[in-house]
Amino acid sequence: MTAIVASIAFVVVGITLVALVERGRTVSGAALIGHSLGLGLSGMAGGLLLLSLLGLVPQPLSAGGICIAGILTLWQLKRRQQLLRLAAVPPAARPAGSTMAVGLVVASLVVALVAMRHGFMDAGLDAIAIWGLKAKAVYLAPLRDAPVFRAPGFSFSHLQYPLLVAFQLAAAYVWAGSPHVATGQVVFVLAYGGMGALAYAAARERLRPWPAAILALALAWLPAQMQMACFGYADTFFVLACLGNAWAAWRYLEHGERRDLVYFALYGAALALTKTEGLVTVAIHGTLLLALTPGRRPRLAVLAAGAVLLAAIAPVWLWLLSIPAHEPSFSQNLNVAFIGANTDRLGYILRAWFQQMTTWRYWGGWFFLPLVVAVLGPAAWRRRGTWWLWAALLGQAAFYCLVYLITPRDLAWHVRDSIGRLFLHLTPLVFLIAVAHLSDLMPAAAVPAPAEPEPADDAADAG
């Protein structure tokens, strides 16, 4: 019961954020579900995180207050006739849409069932050592008073890791009245379901219904995706936020709508507050977006979105950086001398990458998909968005290789411990690349026009 109440609270916050971004526009059901879950988990946890920085622990009053503020906002939007509208599903798309929904619900139920019985807090050490412990800590005390962040004995919990997922768990605990593990599991199931719905929305925008459903289900049903969703790791939400962030950047490059920059900033903030690598991922995505956006005014808009994103994450990151570090630092090895002396690591890293790509039981043929579709759908190369997606994928992959190159830990252990999760982070970009190229092979009937076209920048502007 408490899991249902927690889910409703997340969804209310999510719908409010989507309604504020869309302002009376029409959105598809899949996009609404995906964004509501993605932004709901981020918005509620982000709100509680900021309140905790101010000295307030998550409690029904604060979480309920955020929900009530959301409901009042929705009411105001309805009064002004600016509430978002749901797009009608064309009859031809209904069988594929229904199949997608059933497939996703079944997968989510399997994830929930395995998590409850066997997985969560039991399968991987990080689930309890990092996310579970932090969630309990932030639920019991405000950030500045929580002993976990100050005692060296807790350094196994990676004290400087971002805290959004810990606050998502704490937001669920609020409704149980205690840090009850079973209630926390709902967070991972919601993130998993949201990822599937958002993937279908992104694919359906450019593909026919059946190809969109098959591709989105393939992403959701990836064995590694389902297993990770059961085990209480932050990576499932990371995938959802990365998908939302990359889809928004792609749409902005194709349509130039400013609302996509808002989505980019919201999901970017969520990424940067979920895992440390999320911060670098957002930096890569943002830099590439700025580089590939044509015209001065659109570039200024990208910069403005970046500034808002930075302002949102700055208080949390400044606080995290104030925590004493007790672990070997990666940055101390980030110099030419160290990298030059360790180039022999590269062969090991590339072999491990190839081995992971070809591990059929985790990924099927997923990581060969971009190579195949890039050849079969070459017309997509004419669009800036496709270049952005490829550059983001290669940039993120290069960053992860660099991490291994400079790791202060034992390389073999580090690769073995983390490479599966890093590959999981790449799945949304592979998915969007597949959508981009497949849209040449089997396009949707028409690409809808943007609601409010931004003023086009002319060449003089760009100059």
- Classified as helix, coil or strand, 178 is coil
The Cα 383–Cα 5 span in angstroms is 44
User: 362 or 388: whose CB is closer to other proteins?
Assistant: 362
The number of angstroms, rounded, from the C-alpha of 244 to the middle of its chain's C-alpha atoms is 6
Shortest distance (Å) from residue 33 CB to other proteins: 18
**Residue 313 C-beta: closest distance to other proteins, Å:** 27
> Least CB distance from residue 423 to other proteins, whole Å?
14
CB of 327 or CB of 458, closer to other proteins: 327
Please, what is the minimum distance in Å from the beta carbon of residue 443 to other proteins? 4
Nearer to other proteins, 12 or 430 (CB): 430
Q: Is 134 helix (H, G, I), strand (E, B) or coil?
A: helix
User: Taking a C-beta distance cutoff of 8 angstroms, is the pair 461, 297 a contact?
Assistant: yes
- 3-state class (DSSP) for residue 27: strand
Nearer Cβ to other proteins, position 133 or 309? 133
Give the angle subtended at the CA of 156 by the CAs of 315 and 267, to the nearest 5°: 40
Shortest gap between Cβ of 434 and other proteins (angstroms)? 8
Supply the minimum distance, in Å, between the C-beta of residue 311 and other proteins: 30
The DSSP call for residue 85 is E
Question: What is the rounded CA–CA span in Å between residue 312 and residue 317?
Answer: 10
Strands (E), 45-114: 85-86
Contact predicate 121/128, CB 8 Å: yes
Binding site for other proteins (CB under 8 A): 25-26, 87, 110, 113-114, 116-122, 125, 128-129, 132-133, 136-137, 140-141, 146-148, 151-156, 181, 211, 214-215, 217-218, 221-223, 226-227, 230, 326-327, 360-362, 364-366, 369, 372-373, 376, 438-443, 445-451
Place of tokens 């932050």: 234
Q: What amino acid occupies position 126?
A: D
Write down how long the chain is: 463
Amino acid at residue number 262: V
Q: Which H or E element spans position 323?
A: none
- Whichever of 348 and 360 has its CB closer to other proteins, that residue is 360
Q: Which is nearer to other proteins, 297 or 443 (CB)?
A: 443
437 with 376: CB under 8 angstroms?
A: yes
User: Alpha-carbon distance 244 to 341, whole Å?
Assistant: 38
Phi, psi dihedral angles at 234 (to 5 degrees): -75, -10
Nearer Cβ to other proteins (92/441): 441
For other proteins, the closer of residues 147 and 455 by Cβ is 147
Residue 295 in tokens: 């015209």
Q: Which is nearer to other proteins, 156 or 399 (CB)?
A: 156
Whole-number minimum distance, CB 449 to other proteins, in Å? Answer: 4
447 dihedral zone (left: phi>0; alpha: psi -120 to 50; beta): beta
